[in-house]
Structure 1
Amino acid sequence: MYSNILRHPGPTPIPKKVQLAMSQDIISHRSEEFVKLFRETTNRVKPIFGTKQEILLLPSGGTAALEAAVVNTVSPGEEVVVVSIGAFGDYFVSICEKHGFHAHVLRKPWGEACTSEDLATFLEPLSNIKAVFVTYNETSTGILNPVKELAKVVREKSDALFIVDGVSCIGGVPVKMDQWGIDILVTGSQKAMMLPPGLAFVSVSDRAWKVIEENKTSAYYLNLLSYREWAQKGMTPNTPAITLIYGLSAACDLIEAEGFDQTVARHELMKDMVRAAMKALSIGVLTSDEYASPTITAIMAPEGINLSQFLGHLKKQYHLDFAGGLGELQGKIFRFGHMGYCFPSDILQAISLIEAGLQDFNYSFEPAAGISAAQKVFLEAQKK
């Protein structure tokens, strides 16, 4: 049986080096060996977050880390601002409302970013805002919010904490948590970090720790004070995903060998290749170039083609597996993930198979137009 070519926005392909690292013999999470592994590995993640703060590891998916960021900083009845530009911004809204927080929601149409002007105008009449929650990379639309600029607005317009969901981009985009003024930054293992699902990362500023210490959260499993206490010992409060931490060490090897600046540049290049190919094939993309995500591209259904049938055909005939649209975009777009263990050669392969599928559906285009456009972008980048 053939393996599918996974081009989803998560989970993403796992490097062989990471797979082999995870096959090592298990060790106790209370052993000296684990303490060494934990401390060395979390320290190596800090540059990826752009922080000197501790990296806390939660044995969970990214959603649990989002909930931890919420319940540790806000108490029932307090007011927050949530910026939602898609399905995962709505996650923050749901979490806040579930816990009894008063959420002021800044909604943008799906496919648009939240600008600093948008946020400044929204915050102007508000007061007593405890936290502002923003999605850095909106997986449902392929938008990268201008988090650096949004952080500056929050600092200028309020005393609120600035809390960022970086689940679908950290490891593939630039981020300077300390320098930009991000108070809590979270991500998950199964995206650009090149690991299987099951591990979440949280980093917290000194300013946010002061709020958390006074908040008296009712959380037990997601109590960040407990994670901080145990991290100081080189451990986690509960049994962690030990094999994933082995894998994380190997993933750090790969990122360090490439150089993180080059990792970021590779993601930008793959984004440009995909967008150029779709333009050459007269297939629309959802977002503008200015705010396009380096880790995922939302691609419109080719004109005259039933998208569900087309994606099913690509998977069955060519073993090429894309994600469909979510919510209001279901049936209108498909999502091309290009993050983590993905390279320009993988982009060229996927575009070639898309073209084969388009021919099968009698879509009119110049043969190899997409491949040629993507290859041109790639070759020009090599000259720089």
Structure 2
Amino acid sequence: MKQETRLFIPGPTPVPPVVAEAMARPLIGHRTEAFARLYARLEEKLRPVLGTQGDVVILTASGTGGMEAAVANLLSPGDPVLALVGGKFGERFAELAQAYGGAVETLNFEWGQAVDPEMVERRLREKRFKVLLATHNETSTTVLNDLRPLGELARRYEVLLAVDAVSSAGGAELRMDEWGIDVLVTASQKALMVPPGLAIVALSERALKAMTGSRSPRYYFDLLAACRSKQKYNTPYTPAVSLFAGLDRALDLIFEEGLEQVYRRHQLLARATRAAMRALGLRLMVADAWASPLVTGVWAPEGLEADRLRKEIASRYGVLLAGGQGPLKGKIFRLAHMGYVDEVDILGALGALELGLYRAGYPVKWGQGVAQAQAVLAEEGKA
């Protein structure tokens, strides 16, 4: 029998069948009234997910393309930028700002630790910056950073706050306007349950004003051009029409479940996963206080190479886990519970993990991790 691959990685994530079906329908022209109505619907549906009443533009690009658009439109060469770096994607945001000539300073945090707002404030007090770059859900370390104090600092010190929410939108609460975020970037292939190919960028009035003065070169990623086209719910260049249709259906699924219930589901699956890892005697990557509800990081047992364990689980059981990045490569594995994932999916992945650990020589008491996850899930069912 042909083995099915089951994705438990932080993107791309599983696509619901009804979303795949929506994308398989006959194409519509991207310069038609039908497409304009689709784009208008998407903006209205995305606003509550992102927590904004501002402009939301959709680019045919990856999440990194959306991040590049953010810095290309906010910065002029030489502009001072403070990048908060606590993982691979914080590093990427800083590198993008450097590529566009920003005078980038990094404020580094230990991988696996959350951003410390007090350290950020000390640096903002010492020097004036134009843009502050932050990562909401740092999937490389499985840390969820609190954006609220960063937004407060951005307003207090008159700095523009740009946030990478590529892996959090649709799975963790976002209140862009309330929290003082100026540019928020997300993408289709994470908690939004659509294949890769769409970058979504939300813009505050402060950001739009700043962009009019930016001297950085850009063409395809010109967000002001995207906003002008969106006045008629069009795009400057050919969009990925099928992905727009898939996103429309995926957002319907989110609202059918209810946004708050979606957040609770992700938090529940994270608690169950973390409880299972502890029951198996495995060490978690991050503290509970800033653990991501979307992906759990686990240190490989002593003497066991994480990537060999992952390869064993993938080849035997079709369960694909993520590895470590940068200094964490070979040291951790990551299990994502993001998007189109439920309790049974997680219990199956944990069972495969137990089998993989056993085959790798780790002492496993059968069902110990699964049972602890079941206990967490059962308690939630009583509530």
Short-chain TM bin:
over 0.9
Could you give the per-residue CA deviations for residues 42-83 of structure 1, whole angstroms, max 9, x where no partner exists? 211110000111220000001011011101011001101000
How many percent identity over aligned positions?
40
Could you give the per-residue CA deviations for residues 11-35 of structure 1, whole angstroms, max 9, x where no partner exists? 0000000000000111111001111
2:363 partner SS? coil
Aligned-partner Cα distance in 1 for 2:78–2:361: 57
Contact 2:77–2:216 (8 Å) recurs in 1? no
Counterpart residue number, 2:105: 104
1:215 partner SS? coil
Which consecutive unaligned segments of at least 5 residues does structure 1 have? none
Aligned-partner Cα distance in 2 for 1:355–1:137: 27
Tell whether 2:247 aligns with 1:248.
Answer: yes
Could you give the per-residue CA deviations for residues 198-222 of structure 1, whole angstroms, max 9, x where no partner exists? 0010000011111111224421110
TM value normalised by structure 2: 0.98
Aligned-partner Cα distance in 2 for 1:86–1:365: 31
How far 1:306 sits from its partner (Å)? 2.5
Could you tell me which amino acid in structure 1 is paired with residue 323 of structure 2?
Answer: G
Counterpart residue number, 2:168: 169
Aligned-partner Cα distance in 1 for 2:13–2:118: 34
1:3-14 equivalent positions in 2, closer than 5 A: 3-14=4-15
Tell whether 2:339 aligns with 1:334.
Answer: no
Which consecutive unaligned segments of at least 5 residues does structure 2 have? none
Counterpart residue number, 1:142: 142
Could you tell me which amino acid in structure 2 is paired with residue 15 of structure 1?
Answer: P
Between the two proteins, the alignment pairs up a number of residues equal to: 382
Contact 2:75–2:215 (8 Å) recurs in 1? no
Could you give the per-residue CA deviations for residues 268-291 of structure 1, whole angstroms, max 9, x where no partner exists? 011111110000001111111000
Contact 1:48–1:170 (8 Å) recurs in 2? yes
Aligned-partner Cα distance in 1 for 2:367–2:181: 44
Aligned-partner Cα distance in 1 for 2:6–2:377: 21
Could you give the per-residue CA deviations for residues 220-277 of structure 1, whole angstroms, max 9, x where no partner exists? 1101000000111011110001000100111011001100100011010111111100
Could you tell me which amino acid in structure 2 is paired with residue 45 of structure 1?
Answer: L
Counterpart residue number, 1:71: 72
Could you tell me which amino acid in structure 1 is paired with residue 65 of structure 2?
Answer: A
Counterpart residue number, 1:354: 353
Could you give the per-residue CA deviations for residues 79-113 of structure 1, whole angstroms, max 9, x where no partner exists? 01000000000001111111211111100111111
Contact 1:115–1:150 (8 Å) recurs in 2? no
User: Which range moves more in the overlay, 301-310 or 253-262?
Assistant: 301-310
Could you tell me which amino acid in structure 2 is paired with residue 142 of structure 1?
Answer: T
Aligned-partner Cα distance in 2 for 1:362–1:331: 17
1:1-384 equivalent positions in 2, closer than 5 A: 1-127=2-128, 129-156=129-156, 158-384=157-383
1:209 partner SS? helix
How far 1:342 sits from its partner (Å)? 0.7
Could you tell me which amino acid in structure 2 is paired with residue 257 of structure 1?
Answer: E
Could you tell me which amino acid in structure 2 is paired with residue 94 of structure 1?
Answer: E
Aligned-partner Cα distance in 2 for 1:218–1:314: 46
Over aligned residue pairs, what C-alpha RMSD do you find? 1.0
Could you tell me which amino acid in structure 2 is paired with residue 149 of structure 1?
Answer: P
Could you give the per-residue CA deviations for residues 297-346 of structure 1, whole angstroms, max 9, x where no partner exists? 11111233222221111011111111111110000001111101011211
1:299 partner SS? strand
Aligned-partner Cα distance in 2 for 1:217–1:110: 31
How far 1:174 sits from its partner (Å)? 0.4
1:72 partner SS? helix
Aligned-partner Cα distance in 2 for 1:215–1:310: 48
Contact 2:307–2:333 (8 Å) recurs in 1? no
Contact 2:183–2:203 (8 Å) recurs in 1? yes
Could you tell me which amino acid in structure 2 is paired with residue 283 of structure 1?
Answer: L
Aligned-partner Cα distance in 1 for 2:163–2:307: 33
1:322 partner SS? strand
Could you tell me which amino acid in structure 2 is paired with residue 302 of structure 1?
Answer: P
